[in-house]
Amino acid sequence: MQFGHFDDAAREYVITTPHTPYPWINYLGSEQFFSLLSHQAGGYSFYRDAKMRRLTRYRYNNVPTDAGGRYLYVNDGGDVWTPSWLPVKADLDHFETRHGLGYSTITGERGGLRVETTFLVPLGENAEVQKVVVTNVSDAPKSVKLFSYLEFCLWNASDDQTNYQRNLSIGEVEVEEATPSGGSAIYHRTEYRERRNHYAVAGVNEPGVGFDTDRDTFLGGPYASLAEAAVPRAGVAQNSVASGWYPIASHAHELELAPGESHALVYVLGYEENQDEEKWADDAHQVINKSGAHALLARFATPAHVDAALERLREYWADLLSSYSVTSTDPKLDRMVNVWNQYQCMVTFNMSRSASFFETGIGRGMGFRDSNQDLLGFVHLVPERARERIIDIASTQLPDGSAYHQYQPLTKRGNDDVGSGFNDDPLWLIAGVAGYVKETGDVGILDEPVPFDNSPGSEVPLWEHLVRSLTFTRTHLGPHGLPLIGRADWNDCLNLNAFSTQPGESFQTTENRTDGQAESTFIAAQLVLYGEEFAGLAQLRGLDDVAADARSFVADMRQTLLTAGWDGEWFLRAYDYFGNPVGTDASPEGKIWIEPQGFAVMAGVGVEVGDDGVSTATSPAVRALDSVAEHLGTPHGLVLQHPAYTTYQVELGEVSTYPPGYKENGGIFCHNNPWVIIAETVVGRGDLAFDHYRRIAPAYREEISEVHKLEPYVYAQMIAGKEASRAGEAKNSWLTGTAAWNFVAVSQHLLGVRPGFDGLVVDPQIGPDVPSFTVRRVLRGATYEIEVTNSGRRGSRAALVVDGVAIEGRSVPYAPAGTTVRITATL
């Protein structure tokens, strides 16, 4: 069942009913000011930091869900409704939400009145702007009353939800019924009297007939819900001024509309800061200096201003997405690659893991491993910002090459609460830097001085950070010659040294046994893949000896994986604290785990190619992948391990805390499915790779939206696995490493266009279902037009003709900036 459809030409997802199985959201903003916006106008806004500078309230985990947003109440001759359906929930004759790139439009129609609201955060502005167009579509004149509504958050979102003994006394607003640009404005100024230099403004471009800023007055007392709001029902604003309790902003307007007539209003929610000496407009320090807000409101004084800002935003996105695009015979593939997967990568870049409908914006910092992997998905979109991100991340690395697991985006410092000890972390830095250098050719970044642990004076070239990353892993090996796992590897929940028995204790931070010798085959596979990347970078620096040394170590690790790391039909997952194998056929549960199968084969471990170009069925790589399909395959994607644990295993940790089929315990963790997709392309089975791809890609799941439940245009972190009673149901959409890895899998391996150290590699492996396609790739200033004719036969590899000349191999030398290169690939 679908609840909408893609509009590919407009790059929008069109939701045609309010009754989706969960709120389906969009993100507005790409610089400093951000809003989360559900299809029914729920969500909230913040400036830079979702915890410290929250502008509006949202009530997570509420009943009903999606509580809190920016609403517009309509009173049409006594009939009260909200065009976003929520909060009044009056039936609508027509409903539509269009989520576009950085903007959304919500339209509701009832009783011959149509209200269409376009929401955006304009480029260069710290504000959410709404253009509301009210149209009388009936054949009689109408008198319509409008009441806007939003509730302010008292800045610190965590304190706002907990510290009521203080907070219910401190709320303050100022009201300006006539602004210089001809409208009205309400200013939220809680704590401005003391140490805050910032305020929020909720303005509208035309003078109203009244306002309200006190929530109880607007709703009609403490027991009324938003659906029952008294002011819209009475049709008369009360001009209430909040004093403590719950400050809100509501502007009231009255419109007389002839049949067919439209009227547009502009609402602005902005964030402004003043310098200390310019805080006040009066000597008594009672009136805020509003010059910043006045300028903002003047910039959006007419609907035409909003239209122009929307146009600029569309151009910005069109430009951003132009560096990789595909035209194929499969519209779902095209819309994932050209629009939605890249869009999600960009949102993940902006948000990290902070604010979604599953992340409250008051939790985690930026993950060291997460940020490096995210980078692989957005480096082609914003290479300069990727460079800055790399330097930020590397600056938190510790001198021995290990890493803080998280850092705080505002201070850019390592987070002591979580600390270090996740032994996969260091190698992800090599992944991020290699991805960046391949994309940009900016080898100079390796000479950039970067400190350890942000300590001034400790700066060494970025290259030296990579050396320490590798050295850390090489010098932390266990009894089988595999890397020690530490607190965990990629799988945060595989805690082999934790032995936690205290209820509620965090597995990520609990004190670990210090004599632990538990080892990870995942880190071993990671070392093979990124050890090779390290060697490639070393060669770019002319360090052939260093490269050779790294490669020889990598060769040993490949061997170790195939011996100590091999169970018989697949790779083991780990050795636990006691030296017992994890992920072995010999154990009743958790026999086979996805991570090492995908990652090791992706790194080429156990790949043996026969004369026909096909990897042999008896090679460890193919056996591992066949085992994955057999044990982990489901209609909804590959589960993380199987069978899931049915009881708590103290020596394994958090993984066994989840009920079977959820999250890391047998859930379909979409982040690691692309490793298997890429692995299948490595062994030349593009058909299987593309099959795995389609099972989790949201556009292909659109028709089962009633099962999947979450947005059909972005990936979720997890889909419930086969042992869960709700198999196929997704959770945790938007902010997940799934976005980056799936983009890497589809763009670089299925479609097969990927930057290498010295050329653009064209090596598609997508199977017979996509018989032909073209890719346009803009890279290092040059444009590559690639036309692929694809038999889809297993094992066949592309023969390339570059500007009319056949070449050997599959790497096209980089062309000078400004040129266009035409490539045909036949396989």
- Binding segment (CB under 6 A) for ligand GLC, from list 38-46, 75-83, 119-127, 487-495: 487-495
What's the rounded Cα separation, in Å, for the pair 368 and 405? 5
Contact 562, 545 (CB under 8 A): no
- Closest approach of Cβ 824 to ligand GLC, in Å? 39
Contact 218, 149 (CB under 8 A): yes
Q: Which is nearer to ligand GLC, 198 or 487 (CB)?
A: 487
- Binding segment (CB under 6 A) for ligand GLC, from list 451-459, 485-493, 607-615, 619-627: 485-493
Measured CA distances, 40 to 64, 552, 583 (Å)? 13, 57, 45
Q: Does 352 bind ligand GLC (CB under 6 A)?
A: no
Position closest to ligand GLC via CB: 492
Contact 365, 406 (CB under 8 A): yes
Q: Which is nearer to ligand GLC, 190 or 717 (CB)?
A: 717
What's the rounded Cα separation, in Å, for the pair 470 and 378? 24
Residue selected from 508, 615, 627, 824 as contacting ligand GLC according to rule CB under 6 A: 508
Residue selected from 120, 121, 379, 493 as contacting ligand GLC according to rule CB under 6 A: 493
Q: At what angle do helices 425-440 and 383-394 cross, to 10 degrees?
A: 150
Q: Does 733 bind ligand GLC (CB under 6 A)?
A: no
Question: Residues 723, 726, 727, 733: is their CA dihedral positive or negative?
Answer: negative
- Closest approach of Cβ 675 to ligand GLC, in Å? 12
Contact 25, 732 (CB under 8 A): no
Tokens representing 285 are 């320090």
Residue selected from 99, 369, 685, 810 as contacting ligand GLC according to rule CB under 6 A: 369
Q: Does 367 bind ligand GLC (CB under 6 A)?
A: yes
- Binding segment (CB under 6 A) for ligand GLC, from list 92-100, 365-373, 387-395, 682-690: 365-373
Place of tokens 């049409």: 76
Within positions 598 to 657, which residues make up the interface with ligand GLC, using CB under 6 A?
Answer: 654
The identity of residue 45, as a single letter, is S
Peptide bond into 643 cis (omega under 30): yes
Residues 647-686: x where in contact with ligand GLC by CB under 6 A, - otherwise, as a string: -------x--------xx------x---------------
Q: Does 374 bind ligand GLC (CB under 6 A)?
A: no
Bridge partners (DSSP) of residue 69 are 42
- Closest approach of Cβ 414 to ligand GLC, in Å? 16
- Closest approach of Cβ 211 to ligand GLC, in Å? 43
Measured CA distances, 522 to 574, 575, 594, 649, 672 (Å)? 8, 11, 10, 20, 12
- In 3-state terms, what secondary structure has residue 345? helix
Q: Does 432 bind ligand GLC (CB under 6 A)?
A: no
Q: Which is nearer to ligand GLC, 95 or 715 (CB)?
A: 715
- Closest approach of Cβ 735 to ligand GLC, in Å? 9
- Closest approach of Cβ 673 to ligand GLC, in Å? 13
- Closest approach of Cβ 507 to ligand GLC, in Å? 6
- Closest approach of Cβ 772 to ligand GLC, in Å? 36
* Number of residues in contact with ligand GLC under rule CB under 6 A: 16
Residue selected from 370, 374, 576, 723 as contacting ligand GLC according to rule CB under 6 A: 370
Q: Does 729 bind ligand GLC (CB under 6 A)?
A: no
Residue selected from 492, 519, 723, 763 as contacting ligand GLC according to rule CB under 6 A: 492
- Binding segment (CB under 6 A) for ligand GLC, from list 310-318, 489-497, 791-799, 814-822: 489-497
Q: Residue 133's closest CA among 250, 293, 307? A: 307
Find the farthest-apart pair of alpha carbons in the chain and give their distance in angstroms, rounded: 87
Q: Which is nearer to ligand GLC, 353 or 387 (CB)?
A: 353
- Closest approach of Cβ 655 to ligand GLC, in Å? 8
User: How many other CB atoms are there within 10 angstroms of residue 69's CB atom?
Assistant: 26
Place of tokens 């194998």: 581
Within positions 160 to 219, which residues make up the interface with ligand GLC, using CB under 6 A?
Answer: none
Q: Which is nearer to ligand GLC, 405 or 777 (CB)?
A: 405
Residue selected from 357, 490, 675, 743 as contacting ligand GLC according to rule CB under 6 A: 490
What's the rounded Cα separation, in Å, for the pair 362 and 349? 17
Q: Which is nearer to ligand GLC, 144 or 745 (CB)?
A: 745
Q: Does 491 bind ligand GLC (CB under 6 A)?
A: yes
Q: Residue 574's closest CA among 490, 499, 507, 658? A: 490
Q: Does 716 bind ligand GLC (CB under 6 A)?
A: no
Q: Which is nearer to ligand GLC, 671 or 685 (CB)?
A: 671
Tokens representing 197 are 């230099």
Task: Kindly report the backbone phi and psi dihedral angles of residue 725, in degrees, each rounded to the nearest multiple of 5, phi listed first.
Answer: -70, -20
Q: Which is nearer to ligand GLC, 274 or 656 (CB)?
A: 656
∠ CA(136), CA(140), CA(143), 5° rounding? Answer: 60
- Closest approach of Cβ 533 to ligand GLC, in Å? 19
Instruction: Burial-class residue 180 by CB neighbours within 10 Å (0-12, 13-18, 19+).
Output: middle
- Closest approach of Cβ 405 to ligand GLC, in Å? 8
Bridge partners (DSSP) of residue 520 are 574
Q: Does 576 bind ligand GLC (CB under 6 A)?
A: no
- In 3-state terms, what secondary structure has residue 503? coil
What's the rounded Cα separation, in Å, for the pair 574 and 668? 20
Q: Name the H helices within 274-367.
A: 291-299, 303-320, 331-335, 341-351
- Binding segment (CB under 6 A) for ligand GLC, from list 37-45, 301-309, 363-371, 813-821: 363-371
Active site residue 93: no
- Binding segment (CB under 6 A) for ligand GLC, from list 8-16, 375-383, 484-492, 796-804: 484-492
Chain center to CA of 37: 15
Place of tokens 């295993």: 649
- Closest approach of Cβ 492 to ligand GLC, in Å? 4
Q: Which is nearer to ligand GLC, 192 or 715 (CB)?
A: 715
Q: Does 717 bind ligand GLC (CB under 6 A)?
A: yes
What's the rounded Cα separation, in Å, for the pair 572 and 575? 8
Q: Does 723 bind ligand GLC (CB under 6 A)?
A: no
- In 3-state terms, what secondary structure has residue 593? strand
E strand intervals along 122-229: 127-136, 142-155, 173-176, 184-188, 198-204, 210-214
- Binding segment (CB under 6 A) for ligand GLC, from list 21-29, 330-338, 491-499, 554-562: 491-499
- Closest approach of Cβ 366 to ligand GLC, in Å? 10
Within positions 735 to 754, which residues make up the interface with ligand GLC, using CB under 6 A?
Answer: 736-737
Q: Does 573 bind ligand GLC (CB under 6 A)?
A: no
Q: Which is nearer to ligand GLC, 99 or 369 (CB)?
A: 369
What's the rounded Cα separation, in Å, for the pair 101 and 12? 7
Which residue is catalytic, options 49, 330, 370, 492? 492
For 708, residues 6+ apart whose C-beta sits below 8 A from its C-beta are 698, 701, 716, 719, 728, 729, 730
For 493, residues 6+ apart whose C-beta sits below 8 A from its C-beta are 507, 653, 654, 655, 657, 658, 663, 664, 665
Contact 349, 774 (CB under 8 A): no
Residues that bind ligand GLC (CB under 6 A): 353, 367, 369-370, 490-493, 508, 654, 663-664, 671, 717, 736-737
Active site residues per annotation: 492
